[in-house]
């Protein structure tokens, strides 16, 4: 499986499809062995390189030669293919799309809300939400775990942090799901424009309301936020709210869903966790390694020509770091294909690495821990309500998560 030598003849790789998701791990294993810096084209025609080994992934994520802001490296025509101008300016001017110093300025505006201390103060409320959600379905004896537990728990938490009305929460699933599925797919981006526009209008109304009536929430804090004397621009304000809504729940939805599915597929590990709930922390870390919610790191571009394993990545080429592959690298993890909730020194890349390491990692970890322990305590006989082979993975670029997870208890 060798990259084509002619730069005009490279295979196309559909990283979005459910079929790819179902066979991703064997594919990654072949690439790690045969072609760890794999050249391909995305569906939008962009030349890209897939990084699959742990050490390479770790190095790229920390290497400032690989940049996050495409405006500094790509032509306007190339940028316009990603997303139409107005929507891009209002939704993509957040910290994941910038390099220092703008990245540092934007991250500093919100990092105080996601420190371990601040997150720990949310523990009681997260527990209350988990209890309420599971009590609501207890008498039914079954549920779609994604729709009725994995999704509502983190969306309630992030909406309360942002000050978003409860009646609007479900709308965010459609909005964020549409964005995740359209990323790097020009035809989907065009179809999704009405959704993006309605999302933008909604955020605009929220901002207007907060400016008239500031409250004790994260949106109000952003409006007032200053870092090193600089406030956010209007576009940055929209984009940061968008990022917090999407990133604030997407990762945890899949962490809970993937975690429950994997535990049900490994009954000995499930029983071990039931008998030893103190293992929950290491169990969450193993879930993040073995079947993490984020399959690929967010886009990077080579800011200059870079040579990795004798492959020349040219200035302007996209670099895609496969976190899911790095986390199963045989040279880094002993028996990487074994799911072991007692695994020691689990230095996975589930939340990335470097300056773009996931700001919400402490929140996702706490939500995951509380969700799994509460589920196993209230529903100790939990098991799948369908054949595992019938379950489908969401056809998304960045995320790895199930469309639904029917369970009985």
Distance CA 315, CA 298 (A): 18
Q: What is the pLDDT of residue 136?
A: 97
Output DSSP code: residue 299. P
Output DSSP code: residue 148. I
Residues 240, 94: contact at Cβ < 8 Å? yes
Q: What is the pLDDT of residue 6?
A: 42
Distance CA 388, CA 319 (A): 33
pTM of the model: 0.91
Domains of the chain (ranges; CATH) run: 18-408 (1.10.630.10)
Residues 289-321: tens digit of each pLDDT:
999 999 999 999 999 999 999 999 999 999 999
Tens of pLDDT, residue by residue, the chain (409 residues): 444 344 445 677 888 788 899 999 999 999 999 999 999 987 667 789 999 999 999 999 999 999 999 888 887 777 766 665 656 677 778 888 889 998 998 898 888 888 888 899 999 999 999 999 999 999 999 999 999 999 999 999 999 999 998 898 888 888 888 888 777 676 777 788 888 889 889 999 999 999 898 888 999 888 887 555 667 888 888 888 888 888 888 999 999 999 999 999 999 999 999 999 999 999 999 999 999 999 999 999 999 999 999 999 999 999 999 999 999 999 999 999 999 999 999 999 999 999 999 999 999 999 999 999 999 999 999 999 999 999 999 988 889 999 999 999 9
Q: What is the pLDDT of residue 384?
A: 97
Q: At residue 143, what are phi and psi to the nearest 5 degrees?
A: -165, 160
Q: What is the pLDDT of residue 57?
A: 98
Q: What is the pLDDT of residue 293?
A: 96
Torsion of CA 127, 130, 136, 141, to 10 degrees: -120
Residues 339-356: tens digit of each pLDDT:
999 999 999 999 999 999
Three-state secondary structure call for residue 342? coil
Nearest to 363 by CA among 260, 247, 270: 247
């Amino acid at each position: 499986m060798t990259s084509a030598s002619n730069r005009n003849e490279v295979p196309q790789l559909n990283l979005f499809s459910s079929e790819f998701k179902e066979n991703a791990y064997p594919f990654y294993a072949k690439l790690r062995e045969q072609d760890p810096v794999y050249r391909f084209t995305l569906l939008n025609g962009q030349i890209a390189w897939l990084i699959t080994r742990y050490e390479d992934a770790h190095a790229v994520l920390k290497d400032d030669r690989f940049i996050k802001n495409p405006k500094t490296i790509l032509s306007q025509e190339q940028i316009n293919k990603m997303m139409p101008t107005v929507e891009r300016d209002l939704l993509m001017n957040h910290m994941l799309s910038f390099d220092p110093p703008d990245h540092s300025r934007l991250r500093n505006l919100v990092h105080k809300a996601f420190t371990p201390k601040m997150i720990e103060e949310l523990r009681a409320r997260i527990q209350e939400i988990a209890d309420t959600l599971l009590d609501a379905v207890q008498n039914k004896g079954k549920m779609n775990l994604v729709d009725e537990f994995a999704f509502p728990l983190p969306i309630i938490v992030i909406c309360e942090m942002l000050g978003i009305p409860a009646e609007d929460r479900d709308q965010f699933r459609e909005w964020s799901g549409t964005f995740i599925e359209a990323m790097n797919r020009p035809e989907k981006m065009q179809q999704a424009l009405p959704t993006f526009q309605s999302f933008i209008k909604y955020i605009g109304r929220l901002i207007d309301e907060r400016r008239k009536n500031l409250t004790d929430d994260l949106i109000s804090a952003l409006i007032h936020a200053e870092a090193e004397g600089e406030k956010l621009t209007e576009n940055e304000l929209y984009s940061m709210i968008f990022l917090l809504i999407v990133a604030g729940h997407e990762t945890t939805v899949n962490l809970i869903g993937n975690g429950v599915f994997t535990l049900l597929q490994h009954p000995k590990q499930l029983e071990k966790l039931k008998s030893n709930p103190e293992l929950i922390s290491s169990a969450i870390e193993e879930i993040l390694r073995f079947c993490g919610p984020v399959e690929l790191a967010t886009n990077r571009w080579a800011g200059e020509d870079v040579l990795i394993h004798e492959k020349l990545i040219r200035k302007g080429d996209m670099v895609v770091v496969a976190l899911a592959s790095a986390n199963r690298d045989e040279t880094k993890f002993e028996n990487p294909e074994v799911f072991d909730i007692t695994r020691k020194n689990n230095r996975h890349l589930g939340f990335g690495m470097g300056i773009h390491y996931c700001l919400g990692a402490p929140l996702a970890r706490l939500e995951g821990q509380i969700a799994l322990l509460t589920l196993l305590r209230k529903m100790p006989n939990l098991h799948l309500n369908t054949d595992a082979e019938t379950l489908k993975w969401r056809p998304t670029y960045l995320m790895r998560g199930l469309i639904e997870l029917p369970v009985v208890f």
